[in-house]
Structure 1
């Protein structure tokens, strides 16, 4: 799922607006010019004390340049003119014996420091613009991906619905065993395509950021209802442990979908009678659901990929999936500010953990 921070862009936009305001820029320019003139006047008025105004003058220019990235030619021209005038004054005073000659070392040093700062500032501006262009291209790619998911899911639905209708009409007729077996294979593939279409559309909705309708939800109650539904259809050694108080703010549809994907994964990787344990608890300000099974576990080389889109393993006790169930589950949990992880249990089998922020304080 594409997650984009809203705070950083807002700050950058505010800075950009601040810098783009003509009045603000004019005020900075005028203030810098007046301060330069004032410091030059002090250098004239205070012989033998030129170093102080000279340093303040270039410091003010450096501060102003931090807000106003002036063009290169006017900037260099201004530095040359200011250095020439102030340098001429300091050299004149030194030749008259008013100013100590070692102070003349400041004449080339301060403009060089300012020019180095100008160089770094312009490099930084160029780097920021490059990053902004890269971010814009990335956002465009995300938008194109979201549009593709939405368009593809809608485009798939119509022909799949028509094909399913015709296949179901054929299934109602008297067929020999071989034809009916082939028909069941076709229907299963149609079901798989339908699930893929639905999950593509769900991912597009999640990525858009407009899919969640949050409310107070008892996560423990959702877990118990979910396991009750699955246990009626699949013969497993179901073990459920629900927290007494595990209330979260979430969209119940999406959290249920995420939990359903984890339970479905456990069912497909366990045989009849195998253990599937679902534990819900509250700790560290979060409500956690751990779903573990007594199946073959997850190979070490596969662990980094279990949540990747369109990546899947061949389940030994279920049909081939779409490769989107676990990735959609993680995206849904991330949209709620939570996390999802996968690991192998200490006693074998796989363990998936879902963690989302809990409401209120943890009970003592």
Structure 2
């Protein structure tokens, strides 16, 4: 979530999608967000170009815990700082961003802010910290004095615009997103970020759009892992309580609250690794994701949501599109799941 919002802020500042890489391998590490010059033109996979900026973000919930409790040590150190320091030493603008969740117990007080800042400063890393609900954030770029900056706590009312009117070939914003994605060869997180931003630009609120959302009932059989849709849209009046438990209390599941407001789920496929696969291997992966969505609809029906909509978004970056017969098979097996196929030869939506 925080990564997607950060991505949106970069887009809002005028940086192009073809410059912003998500989950980008750099210097034997993987960074949350990396910004390149325009010359990269979306070709992030195995790029050796020096980035303009590198960003690591920490925050959110780990089950019933505030993630910052787990990730930042008592002296303010976080392992991600070592990744950023490597880039800072090359002259890359590097940022460590922390978002605190007071609902799960505030992790960072004023003394801890100072400790984290000292750790970042010693590594030539810029640092920013914000606690949800407050009217200011701590901002410490490496090239200027640290300060507290005001936050505009404007209400975000969201939207109940039908999803099919957004993911529609007659919607210019959708076609623009598709054309931008077809220029990008990188991690699948780039595709998810672009999808999230499409809905944000259509006035859907941050409180109703969630990525990798956990639900207690959706555990994978024989595993502690949860079956999480890549993106979820909740209705316009949802309050943004995406976490598993109310107030971090493991005895108070948030499932019923979320299921009362859930609207649409998404699975996304589209990455440099997928672009290496042929039609048969690609089709198998597509069908597996469609089955995952159908299973999720069945679980949702048993947990209070009878008419959950589902979309499978497949980005095919190869020069030649998936064969017609493969697309037909995918559509024929997609009962109750809408298909969005984005290819260089065709862009189609199968509702």
Which structure has the highest strand share of the two? 2
Which has more radius of gyration? 1
- TM exceeds 0.5? no
TM-score range, shorter chain: under 0.3
Q: Normalising by the residue count of structure 2, what TM-score does the alignment of the two structures yield?
A: 0.20
Q: Normalising by the residue count of structure 1, what TM-score does the alignment of the two structures yield?
A: 0.19
